[in-house]
A and B are shown apart, each in its own frame.
Chain A
Amino acid sequence: MSIKGIKRWAAAGALFFWSFAAWAEYKLNLQTPHTLLGEKIYDLHSIITAICFVVFVGVFGFMFYAVFKHRKSVGHKAAQFHENTAVEVAWTLIPFVILIAMAVPATGTLITMRDTSEPDLTIKATGYQWKWGYDYLKGEGEGISFYSTLSTPRAQIEGSDVAGRNANPNYLLETDNHVVVPVGKKIRILTTAADVIHAWYVPALAVKQDAIPGFIRDTWFKAEKAGIYRGQCAELCGKDHGFMPIVVEVMEPAQYTAWVATQQVKVAAAKVDPNKTWALDELKAHGEKVYAQNCVACHQATGMGVPGAFPALAGSKVVNGPKADQIKLLLNGKQATAMAAFKHLSDADLAGVITFTRNNWSNKTGDAVAPAEIKAARN
């Protein structure tokens, strides 16, 4: 090939790859990875897509050549060959070799991806319909525990605040509590769920792992850069599947330590004396908050539920019936319905929410359910 030819090819190649880079700004590719593993996956995807592209162009080059040159309208007469063993063998073996070439880097990346050993910090992510719960199990911050719920206002979602939606860069990708982790540390995420299958998915950190009720799965990431990374539940989990995002905030180690300290203060402050006696109004007020976090998605703020799908609590036989039955229902859930077990809530939370439902809307039982009653019912 002449020098001129080489130059022309190089220019064409540069243009080709430049066009890829330009596309990236328009979100035509995977999100920019912020972990080393993510970069490996990104490159693996690029290589495989490029190989496919080359083969595709080659094969359809032949096809379009035939389409234009071997057409009847240009007077092409049909040849009658219809077999060639050598060609058949070649186009069986060549793809096989290409596949092996793809499998080598894929195998390495997969083995790295699945190595969750020796983490610096282990966090359990529990999927609920429809929010995430996090428990810091091991490492700096051990004992921190919180729920993380979508914080985008309903008005933006349902259309009464379109201007607010359009001005919100994190629409549907924002939560009240972020999962905070230190930069440069190996974070192991254990996933599980309380009701149905969910999936914990943060694209920029290259993690996606199903959260399966009754089982524990794990995955890991090590963020290279501080920042906020956003993802969503990836497995269909019912009505509000699209509304349970994941926000991971990666902090510098010193900042992280400070965050852990503030959280631990919060945990201590929130710790309720188990022997405390609650007044009915106190329980009801506490229960209202619990209701807003756990129950409102199905049973609605009006307590009317959604006819046919989620039963009303206002006027409900269970809520207005014996306390023990309602306590049992909340602790164990109801099989084959969307009513999950809520035994992961504290005695005070359950006592509060039961008291709230029994004394709100049209329900006027006048009962106060003490945390001690929940504790007794657990055993």
Chain B
Amino acid sequence: MDAAHAHTHDHGHDDHGHKPSGIMRWVKSTNHKDIGTMYLWFSFTMFMVGGVMAMIIRAELFQPGLQIVRPDFFNSMTTYHGLIMVFGAIMPAFVGFANWLIPMQIGAPDMAFPRMNNLSFWLLPPAAMLLIAAQFMPGGGAGVGWTMYAPLSTQAGPAMDLTIFAVHILGISSIMGSINIITTILNMRAPGMSLMKMPLFCWTWLITAYLLVAVMPVLAGAVTMTLTDRHFGTHFFNAAGGGDPVLYQHIFWFFGHPEVYIIAIPAFGVVSQVIPAFSRKPLFGYASMVYATASIAILSFMVWAHHMYTAGMPVEAQLYFMYATALIAVPTGVKVFNWVATMWKGSLTFETPMLFSLGFLFLFTLGGFTGLVLSITPVDVQLHDTYYVVAHFHYVMVAGALFSAFAGIYFWLPKWTGRMYNETLGKWHFWLSLIFFNVTFFVQHFLGLAGMPRRIPDYALQFAEFNAISSIGAFGFGLSQLLFLYIVIKCITSGDKAPDKPWEGADSLEWTHLPTPAPWHSFETPPVIK
């Protein structure tokens, strides 16, 4: 019996050590590192697809008049640009980070449910294909906006059904991924790795995963109600049948506002690893960072109707949502102050990951401040559904989440690939992205203040100059991302060999306890944390 057991164990162990080759290594993968890699490449592919849509939008808006696309196609572009960037690019990117890093940072051998991990990833490509296939349905893509407001969504063509189905699949994938992350963090930490000793990145993902489990079903509910309104004679959102179109908005934003933090909080986590590393100084206020992140997550459930100030609600409700929304500035401020205090009296160097983190800090805070301006109801009523809002959320989503993802890629690329990226090119990528980002989006604040509504394919002449500037910036930003692809491929194929710990100040387990590149299986025996 004992011998048989030993035999099976050995056999199993051999299987683990043997890396399957070819395409089946990826299709059947249960390895957290391979799955993380697939998430990241999937995310970059979607980033390119969503980016092409953004280029089409900006090309049409380069000049007044309709030049390139028809209005319904333009609406479809704004819709799928949003959906693909949020659900296809940004969210999977951070799940990719989670897969790669959480097991290594807590000293676990893999994720808790490796097979479910495989399924979580492989649900994404079919969902992406549905979103892309929607473009080719009769009548074209559904031009309903990424918010898919009813009753516009109930009168859209068959592309809407594909979109709803895609959202369902993405939601299932997210929920499974989140359960995996929660279970891994709560059960698989190495002995001595208490929750309050975890790297902040793990904390941010633990909180994010709870947010996902809480709100993805709500989104699924909203789109399912849209589906039954469309095909099965229900009237959830149809006033003529006793329903209420605004109900959709309440449900959607109950998901939608936490969603903002589902994207932002892992970004906070990445930046909280990078800034201390390049400041050569521990993160300032670790405990207060954890509490601030949790506070932001809890508050995010209580502020959804600030997206609906013009939809009509009692003045008391508007007052409440205004106060609650402004309150989010407090924990967010704490985080910004902590990051600056981490740098204070450090010994700073400015490699590409640090540059992207500083870009994040500066521009995310700017986006936070415009968010504060928007939280003030009477001001928001002027700015709601204008380009000011477009500028605001691109500061948070692009300069916030995307820049932080870039910081994370440059930071961990040596550990993942065993090779260094080209530092000079990395810095070029940063400065080009920073400049073109601001050229694209800073001027959109002025467009919004002057009263240009969002989601319009053509505009009055007084908006022409800023739109032209914004389009030029967007093309520059888009092209700069090809440089990023080149840097990553060059790093993988011919980068210099990276040392085990290329960053002097990095102190989490993947740097201190593992060789570079990280072996296919790490921490099969847990490390001892003092």
CB distance from A192 to the nearest CB of B (A): 10
Q: Does A166 contact B (CB under 8 A)?
A: yes
Within B281-329, the residues touching A (CB, 8 Å) are: 281-288, 310-312, 315, 318-319, 322-323, 326-327, 329
Q: Does B171 contact A (CB under 8 A)?
A: no
Q: Does B225 contact A (CB under 8 A)?
A: no
- How many residues of chain A have a CB within 8 Å of chain B? 100
CB distance from A253 to the nearest CB of B (A): 28
Contact yes or no, A48 B372, CB < 8 A? yes
Stretch at the interface among B10-18, B206-214, B254-262, B382-390: B382-390
Q: How far is the CA of A131 from the CA of B128 in the complex (A)?
A: 36
Within A201-225, the residues touching B (CB, 8 Å) are: 201, 203, 206-210, 212-215, 217
CB neighbours (8 Å) of B251 from chain A are none
Contact yes or no, B312 A336, CB < 8 A? no
Residue on B with the closest CB to A337?
B155
Contact yes or no, A41 B382, CB < 8 A? yes
Contact yes or no, B347 A71, CB < 8 A? yes
Contact yes or no, A72 B349, CB < 8 A? yes
Q: Beyond A63-B343, A203-B451, A308-B139, is A239–B458 a contact (Cβ under 8 Å)?
A: no
CB neighbours (8 Å) of B358 from chain A are 63, 67
Q: Does A371 contact B (CB under 8 A)?
A: no
Q: How far is the CA of A240 from the CA of B71 in the complex (A)?
A: 7
Q: Does B361 contact A (CB under 8 A)?
A: yes
Q: Does B515 contact A (CB under 8 A)?
A: no
Q: How far is the CA of A207 from the CA of B450 in the complex (A)?
A: 14
CB neighbours (8 Å) of A157 from chain B are 65-66, 458
CB neighbours (8 Å) of B453 from chain A are 201, 232-234, 241-242
Q: How far is the CA of A30 from the CA of B64 in the complex (A)?
A: 21
Stretch at the interface among A6-14, A109-117, A277-285: A109-117
Q: How far is the CA of A243 from the CA of B74 in the complex (A)?
A: 13
Contact yes or no, B460 A172, CB < 8 A? yes
CB distance from B487 to the nearest CB of A (A): 24
Contact yes or no, B155 A62, CB < 8 A? no
Q: Does B512 contact A (CB under 8 A)?
A: no
Q: Does B522 contact A (CB under 8 A)?
A: no
Q: Beyond A106-B376, A195-B151, is A95–B239 a contact (Cβ under 8 Å)?
A: no
Q: How far is the CA of A336 from the CA of B154 in the complex (A)?
A: 5
Residue on B with the closest CB to A27?
B450
Q: Does B119 contact A (CB under 8 A)?
A: no
Stretch at the interface among A82-90, A254-262, A264-272, A319-327: A82-90
Contact yes or no, B323 A72, CB < 8 A? no
Contact yes or no, B347 A56, CB < 8 A? no
CB neighbours (8 Å) of A166 from chain B are 461
CB distance from B484 to the nearest CB of A (A): 24
A-B contact count (CB 8 A): 301
CB neighbours (8 Å) of A241 from chain B are 71, 75, 453, 455-456
Within B10-38, the residues touching A (CB, 8 Å) are: none
Contact yes or no, A83 B284, CB < 8 A? yes
Q: How far is the CA of A159 from the CA of B310 in the complex (A)?
A: 34
CB neighbours (8 Å) of A71 from chain B are 347-350
Q: How far is the CA of A341 from the CA of B284 in the complex (A)?
A: 62
Contact yes or no, A72 B347, CB < 8 A? yes
CB neighbours (8 Å) of A45 from chain B are 373, 376, 379, 382
Within A294-319, the residues touching B (CB, 8 Å) are: 306-309
Contact yes or no, B155 A195, CB < 8 A? yes
Contact yes or no, B382 A88, CB < 8 A? no
Residue on B with the closest CB to A88?
B288
Q: Does B238 contact A (CB under 8 A)?
A: yes
Q: Beyond A29-B449, A66-B344, A241-B455, is A52–B372 a contact (Cβ under 8 Å)?
A: yes
Q: How far is the CA of A345 from the CA of B64 in the complex (A)?
A: 34
Q: How far is the CA of A168 from the CA of B64 in the complex (A)?
A: 12
CB distance from A52 to the nearest CB of B (A): 4
Stretch at the interface among A96-104, A135-143, A348-356: A96-104
Q: Does B132 contact A (CB under 8 A)?
A: no
CB neighbours (8 Å) of B366 from chain A are 56
Interchain CB contact (< 8 A) of B347 among A41, A78, A237: A78
CB neighbours (8 Å) of A238 from chain B are 72, 75, 143, 152, 155
Residue on B with the closest CB to A60?
B362
CB distance from B480 to the nearest CB of A (A): 23
Contact yes or no, B346 A78, CB < 8 A? yes
Q: Give per-residue flags for B440-462: 1 if the beta carbon is below 8 A from chain A beta carbons, else 0.
A: 00000010011101111111111
Within B117-172, the residues touching A (CB, 8 Å) are: 137-140, 143-145, 149, 151-152, 154-155, 157
CB neighbours (8 Å) of B245 from chain A are 197, 212-215
CB neighbours (8 Å) of A110 from chain B are 315, 318-319, 322, 377-378
Of the A-B pairs whose beta carbons lie under 8 Å apart in the complex, a sample of 30, sorted by A's number, is A30-B449, A30-B450, A44-B376, A56-B369, A59-B365, A67-B343, A67-B348, A72-B280, A78-B281, A79-B281, A81-B284, A82-B286, A82-B342, A91-B337, A92-B333, A96-B330, A103-B323, A113-B377, A157-B65, A159-B67, A171-B64, A203-B382, A206-B381, A213-B240, A217-B312, A231-B451, A235-B385, A241-B453, A241-B455, A242-B455
| Apart from the given pairs A70-B279, A308-B157, A335-B154, 20 other A-B contacts in the complex at a CB distance below 8 Å | A66-B344, A71-B349, A72-B348, A78-B346, A88-B285, A99-B330, A109-B378, A110-B378, A168-B461, A169-B461, A172-B460, A212-B312, A213-B239, A214-B238, A217-B311, A234-B310, A236-B455, A239-B72, A309-B72, A309-B139
* Chain B interface residues (CB < 8 Å from chain A): 64-67, 71-72, 75, 137-140, 143-145, 149, 151-152, 154-155, 157, 229-231, 238-240, 244-246, 279-288, 310-312, 315, 318-319, 322-323, 326-327, 329-330, 333-334, 336-337, 340-350, 358, 361-362, 365-366, 369, 372-373, 376-379, 381-382, 384-386, 446, 449-451, 453-462, 505
